[in-house]
Structure 1
Amino acid sequence: MLYRVEGIVIRSMDYGESNKIVTLLTKTNGKAGVLIRGAKKVKSRHSSLAQPFTYGEYQYFRGTGLGTLNHGEIIESHHDLRMHLDLSAYASYAAELTDRTLQEEEPSVFYFEQLKACLTAFSEGKDPQIVMHVYEMRVLDLSGYAPELEECVSCGNRVGPFKLSAHAGGVLCGRCGGRDPSAAAISESAHKLLRLFRRLDMRRLGAITVKPETKTELKRHMRALMDAQLGLHLKSRNFLDQLDKFV
């Protein structure tokens, strides 16, 4: 069967001496594995279509297994994301996170639009850490694990101060904080930003300026939520954390 889709390369691996297999996040057909013949050759007209983060139109034949690329056109290469180490690290994390949380052939229009907007925000020079936290929140939401940040997950109290319980999936008020000894105190500014991230569409993301100390706190809280709710061990995130130590 012949497919013609808009897709973003979220994974690319060598196959044989001259080929590559890419995993596309498509706009209409979920994830799709596609063999691109000759993509490793320097002069191949398809080599750029196999590069990570490439957004393009892909036409491929598929029977019961992998698809085989017939034709493709690049819409946005995202070359800059591959040329800068920090942006490449963030984009790789976004791509791997998407790959690990989205099931094969799962409907993906909204997921596709969110990842596309995430990569665009990186390219536009928006704070990559903040962009990534907003995308992480979208992934939690799309996976069914969005945290409750407006009221206590235990009693429904909407009056703070609160603590964030990653394992309970939201905030605990002063009366209920003792229910989770691992719950972390959360500042008013970080809590406000997390509530914003919780409801923010990546396509409407503007410039957000955050103090360094608040960014450090946000990272701690988002790491705890991602680990407790998804439990994924991602090589790209480990590399990103190592890179942060040297920046």
Structure 2
Amino acid sequence: MADQIKVMGMVISSAPIGEHDKRIVLLTKEKGKISAFARGARRPGNHLMAASESFAFGSFYLIYGRDSYTLVNAEISNYFRELAGDITMTYTACYFLELAGYYAVENQNGAEMLNLIYAAFKALLNPSLDNRLVRYVYELKMLVINGEYPDFFVCRVCGAKDNAAGFSISHNGIVCDGCIRNIADAITLCGGTVYTLQYIVYSEIGRLFTFRVSDEVLEELRMVMARCMNTYVDRRMNSLEILDALI
């Protein structure tokens, strides 16, 4: 009999297979993104039914067969069922998982990405935080984790470290007040937005969802992240189509 392994992770997608089974995709701390079959998980009362739903977070026990994993048991510490209480929150969370699935790879440590998802889900449930801000923070930190993101610290034209005045996606970052007038696609940013972008880049995940911003900064973050995601992510997320229609 194949050896059983234990991984910590979250179900990032779940789909029916046949009459009684499910195929799930897990983002795990130890092995990155892995797929597994949950036999009988669609049968009423099956012990894997709830554990094989998207958003379930905890420990998963797997065995590896000839060419795939099979889920045999799970200890779920958080189902995040509260996310289903609001349709916008639900699709924001689905978008977070879809974006994680886009970036995650097999057999690569997934701890940082998993921590980001968990923290973002907790932030979505915090009534004092605007879910749009949670989304923009999550998007930028996901880009940072995967090593491809704009430079928000020095002017991409002259190298100046002060007087940041705007953002240009064609120049892949910040531009100063002396260079912005010559850049056609530049958008003007206030100092609070520049600081917020820098803070997201260098902060640990545990400190990301601890602040609020003005309406002006929130709108500028929206414009910056829309340009970033269109540039760095080459696939339109299905959940994002629905989410944008709801907002």
* TM-score when normalising by structure 1: 0.91
Structure 1 residues 178-217: Cα deviation after superposition (integer angstroms, max 9, x where no partner): 6642121112222222122222223223542222343222
Q: Over the residues paired in the alignment, what is the CA RMSD in angstroms?
A: 1.8
Q: Please tell me the residue identity of whatever aligns with 2:110.
A: S
Match in the other structure for 2:108: 106
Q: Which of these residues, 12, 15, 39, is aligned with residue 13 of structure 1? A: 15
Moved more, 152-161 or 135-144: 152-161
Encode CA deviations 1:140-197: one digit per residue, 9 max, x unaligned. 1122112211111222112224220123221112343366421211122222221222
Q: Unaligned regions of 5+ residues in structure 2, if any?
A: none
Asked if the contact 1:145–1:169 (Cα under 8 Å) also holds between the matched residues in 2, the reply is no
Question: Is 2:195 the partner of 1:192?
Answer: yes
User: How many Å apart are 1:131 and its aligned residue?
Assistant: 1.7
1:70 positional shift: 1.1
Greater mean alpha carbon deviation, residues 217-226 or residues 165-174: 165-174
Aligned mates of 2:135, 2:160 — CA distance in 1: 30
Q: What does residue 130 of structure 1 align with?
A: 133
What is the DSSP-based 3-state SS (H/G/I as helix, E as strand, rest coil) of the residue aligned with 1:48?
A: coil
Deviates more, 1:93-102 or 1:42-51: 42-51
Give, in whole Å, the separation in 2 of the partners of 1:100 and 1:206: 23
Q: CA deviation at 1:102?
A: 1.6
The equivalent of 1:38 in structure 2 is 40
Of 142, 145, 149, the residue aligned with 1:142 is 145
1:63 aligned partner: 65
Counterpart of 2:174?
171
CA distance in 2, matches of 1:78, 1:111: 17
| Conserved 8 A contact 1:55-1:77 | yes
Change (3 A) 1:161 1:111: closer
Judge conservation of contact 1:78–1:123 (CA < 8 Å) in 2: no
Moved more, 106-115 or 173-182: 173-182
SS of match in other structure, 2:50: helix
CA 1:62 to 1:168, structure 2 compared with 1: closer, same or farther past 3 Å?
Answer: farther
Per-residue CA deviation, residues 17-67 of structure 1 (Å, 9 max, x unaligned), is 121111100011111101111222232221111111110111011134321
**C-alpha distance in 2, partners of 1:205/1:163?**
23
Letter in 2 for 1:65: D
- Picking from 215, 219, 228, the partner of 1:212 is 215
CA contact (8 A) 1:9 1:55 kept: yes
Alpha-carbon distance in 2 for matches of 1:181, 1:97: 30
Letter in 1 for 2:86: H
1:121 corresponds in structure 2 to 123
TM-score in terms of structure 2 length:
0.91
How many residue pairs were aligned?
244
